[in-house]
């Protein structure tokens, strides 16, 4: 079971072409892993866009669905040489259901998608999910961890010593 995101997705294709030497001056073409019949060619223009999508697909033999709020950022264009099931507007699923490639960054920020993906993955290997599923978004989980880190630093860091070492008169931890 493989999920390739961005450059990992590009590597899953037949080849990566760089005729202008944007990524590698001395190597104009690199063989891919040949998991998808796809060629990627690099161009100087970088694609950067916010994506909102909803997917309802079969991955790893199970239904995976959810709203996606991600972004796409990459150089080059990937051209599929045969049709594949899609994962939204910029991703593909191999007919086996065990290979997925996408340009979506932040794919697991969506709680619904993340949980259904992890459930499908666990089910595909015959393992139960350990722990309770998280109902919090990835952003909410990050905030909780930042707060914990801030609390730990406040309790265990000598801010006066740090201020003196840095030569600053005021030092506050973000809260």
Coil vs helix vs strand at 47:
strand
Reply yes or no on whether 74 is catalytic. no
* CA 80 – CA 84 distance, rounded (Å): 8
Q: Which of 70, 94, 105, 156 is catalytic?
A: 105
User: Count of CB atoms within 10 A of residue 105's CB?
Assistant: 14
How far is the CA of 3 from the CAs of 48, 98, 107, in angstroms?
21, 8, 11
6 is catalytic: yes
CA distance 111 to 113: 6
**DSSP for 71-95, written as a single string:** EEEEEEEEEESS--EESTTSEEE-T
Return the active site residues. Answer: 6, 105
């Amino acid at each position: 079971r493989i999920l390739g995101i961005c450059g990992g997705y590009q590597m899953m294709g037949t080849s990566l072409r760089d005729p202008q030497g944007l990524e590698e001056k001395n190597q104009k073409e690199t063989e891919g892993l040949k998991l998808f019949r796809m060629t990627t060619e690099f161009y100087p223009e970088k694609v950067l866009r916010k994506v909102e999508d909803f997917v309802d697909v079969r991955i790893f033999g199970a239904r995976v669905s959810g709203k996606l709020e991600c972004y796409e950022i990459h150089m080059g264009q990937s051209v599929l040489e045969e049709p594949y099931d899609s994962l939204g507007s910029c991703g593909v699923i191999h007919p086996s259901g065990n290979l997925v490639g996408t340009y979506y960054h932040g794919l697991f920020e969506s709680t619904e998608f993340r949980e259904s993906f992890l459930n499908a993955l666990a089910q595909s290997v015959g393992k139960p999910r350990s722990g309770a599923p998280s109902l919090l978004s990835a952003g909410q989980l990050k905030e909780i961890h930042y707060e914990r880190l801030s609390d730990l630093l406040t309790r265990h860091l000598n801010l006066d010593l740090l201020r003196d070492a840095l030569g600053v008169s005021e030092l506050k931890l973000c809260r």
